[in-house]
Amino acid sequence: MNSSGKTDPRYVSLLILNEYFIKRTSLKNLINNYLDKNPLSDLDRRFLFEIVKGTVRFLLKIDYLIGVFSDIKIEKM
Domain ranges of the chain: 9-76
49: number of CA atoms within 13 Å, CB side? 10
* Full DSSP string of 10-41: HHHHHHHHHHHHHH---HHHHHHHHHHHS---
Give the pLDDT band (50/70/90) at residue 70: confident
Q: How far apart are CA 12 and CA 4, in angstroms?
A: 16
Give the pLDDT band (50/70/90) at residue 6: confident
Q: Note whether 50 and 43 are within 8 A (CB).
A: no
Predicted local confidence at residue 1, as pLDDT = 55
pLDDT at 5 over 80: no
Q: What's the sign of the alpha-carbon dihedral 28, 53, 8, 18?
A: positive
The pLDDT tens digits of the residues spanning 15-65 come to 999 999 999 999 999 999 999 999 999 999 999 999 999 999 999 899 888
